[in-house]
Chains A and B, each alone.
Chain A
């Protein structure tokens, strides 16, 4: 390192915060320029580490290698796209917190040890929640608060793991962590929450649809991908992850089919895609981790693009439920077209980005002889096309005509979607550009006849199933509704149970409380009675007796001072 370059988190983090005090016109230049400057700074970095002394510990505040650089590039690209997408926004809170959030993610992936990681991990939670709160209504306020509680808890688990490792004399370095110690399990749990593992996934489908149209684009890019990075760094090859990832790829697609809020559909679909990445990490070093991080890279772009198209629909119509939309291709043709590029990419159509990364994971699962995992992932692939590839564009832009004729998305949104769409196709056609950035060298060729043909067969016959089910009216209609997920326990069952079980407790404690509170009242009543004209102390006292009592009191004070003071 030449020493001239900045820590890569600083341009976005500090620069972003400085934007809070400048006028809107300057801020708009700043949010686009800072990711570009940050990227230029990134290109100056050489592989290696920078250490710093803090609180008596030698901390690796910066570790640069292929894995961290890949995510560094990705997060700057995502920050730039989200910044362009949110140029029309006037709200300083969203711009400032958006860039600071991106900077926190960059800091986390360049952290060389766990204490530095913890710092940026918590900063991610604190900076990102404003993308939800910025909507400034009751629902987003409470969804944001729930989101924040979950992510702060994830940070505390990480801190607990760090403390446990310190106590047992283990290193604080953030390299592969063995799962032999309780500290590592705590750290895995912390990563799992941010990665939306099953049963701790509801923060994602709760908060992302509650955020502002532009906020969801920021949110979709950084938090879960930082967690995928952390898993790849700390727990590559952990077999448990193969099974967790398979479950993540499978269960959300059922929810996605029946969900009405199209941004929540994308939230479930996001968990499904992260499932593929977690399987990749579980398959271990080499092709497994390569597939996971390549898919994370592509997912940020195509999922960002899908969230952008739905954000544009929400901005222009004020609606996002499938049951209230339809026919928008007539007045928003560009947004519809970009959405379909994102849909083709997430569905892994040949020549679109998803194809060249998801296939690595599938290939490696088969190579390892994981039959059930492979079959489940193939099922999930068909399901992705079904709910994200077809359902999202179909119910928003086609289906029955809702009669809405909103204007096309603002120019800045179309530019951001256009760049994302070009990137999806570019990476799909020239995968070598992405493959060169991957942490492990590999000889993998995504385009061969077998893979090309089988993938098209899976996709076309999934579409055929959709067509047949639609024409025969078996397909479940979009209905205005809420679907219960495991957060029901926290949001409904526990508060209700607590209220029921707590009732006797409240009654008893209030009875005890009123009895206890009665004691001072009784003393006061007694004192009042004693001092009343008829009371014992209400009598006129002779001076001598008063002097005696006063002297006795002084004596007691004197003796007390002598012995004890």
Chain B
């Protein structure tokens, strides 16, 4: 299947407009803030019944954990690249299994 190429007379799509991207980001940031603030008003019941992990009851635990986890994930993965990344043809010319 041959893929088409973009034509010069193409209509502008929704994310071609940087303003729409900006609006989406603003809405997204507001959602994040509201979710964090919800911790102040919602009483969460603990996942650990016997208080093995008191930290989970702290304000914003799940949000902060998710954020930090992803930053660590990406930073470690970048280091992993130094160790394991090779050129695309690395295994070409490999002996038959």
Contact = CB atoms under 8 A, between A and B. Distances in A.
A419 interface: no
A379 interface: yes
Interface size class of B (residues with CB under 8 A): 35 or more
A492 B91 contact: yes
Contacts of A555: none
Given A457-B62, A482-B90, A404 B32 contact: no
A386 interface: yes
Nearest to B44: A450
B69 A379 contact: yes
A375 B61 CA distance: 12
B87 A482 contact: yes
B86 A457 contact: no
Given A149-B97, A484-B84, A404 B3 contact: yes
Contact of A318 (B1, B70, B77): B1
Max chain B C-beta neighbours (<10 A), residue from A330, A458, A461, A475: A461
A401 B12 CA distance: 12
Contacts of A382: 65-66, 69-70, 73
A429 interface: no
A205 B52 CA distance: 37
A485 B84 contact: yes
Contact of B96 (A142, A317, A375, A406): A142
Contacts of B50: 369
Interface in A364-390: 366-367, 369, 371, 374-375, 378-379, 382-383, 386
Given A374-B53, A469-B74, A491-B91, A258 B63 contact: no
A219 B50 CA distance: 42
Interface string B30-73: 01100110110010110111101100000010111111111101
B5 A449 contact: no
A455 B54 CA distance: 18
A46 to B, nearest CB: 40
Contact of A450 (B1, B4, B45, B87): B45
Contact of B91 (A257, A369, A482): A482
A274 to B, nearest CB: 19
B45 A476 contact: no
Nearest to A403: B6
Contact residues of A: prevailing secondary structure = helix
A476 B29 CA distance: 23
Contacts of A398: 15
B78 interface: yes
Given A405-B6, A407-B4, A383 B73 contact: yes
Contacts of A510: none
Contacts of A463: 28
Contacts of A374: 47-48, 53
A475 B48 CA distance: 34
B52 A258 contact: no
A474 interface: yes
Contacts of A476: 74, 77-78, 81
Given A318-B1, A453-B42, A492 B94 contact: yes
A145 B97 contact: yes
Given A329-B13, A481-B86, A458 B4 contact: no
B56 to A, nearest CB: 8
Contacts of A257: 73-74, 77
Contacts of A450: 42, 44-45
- Which 4 pairs from chain A and chain B are nearest by CB? A465-B70, A257-B77, A458-B66, A405-B4
Interface of A: 142, 145-146, 149, 253-255, 257-258, 315-318, 329-331, 362-363, 366-367, 369, 371, 374-375, 378-379, 382-383, 386, 398, 401, 403-407, 448-450, 453-467, 469, 474-476, 479-485, 491-492, 495
29 contacts: A254-B76, A254-B77, A257-B74, A258-B85, A317-B3, A318-B1, A375-B53, A378-B69, A379-B65, A382-B73, A386-B73, A403-B5, A403-B6, A404-B6, A450-B42, A450-B44, A453-B38, A453-B39, A455-B62, A457-B66, A461-B64, A463-B28, A464-B28, A464-B32, A475-B74, A479-B85, A483-B84, A483-B86, A484-B85
Given A254-B77, A450-B44, 12 more contacts: A142-B94, A257-B73, A258-B81, A366-B47, A369-B52, A371-B52, A453-B44, A455-B62, A460-B66, A476-B78, A482-B85, A483-B81
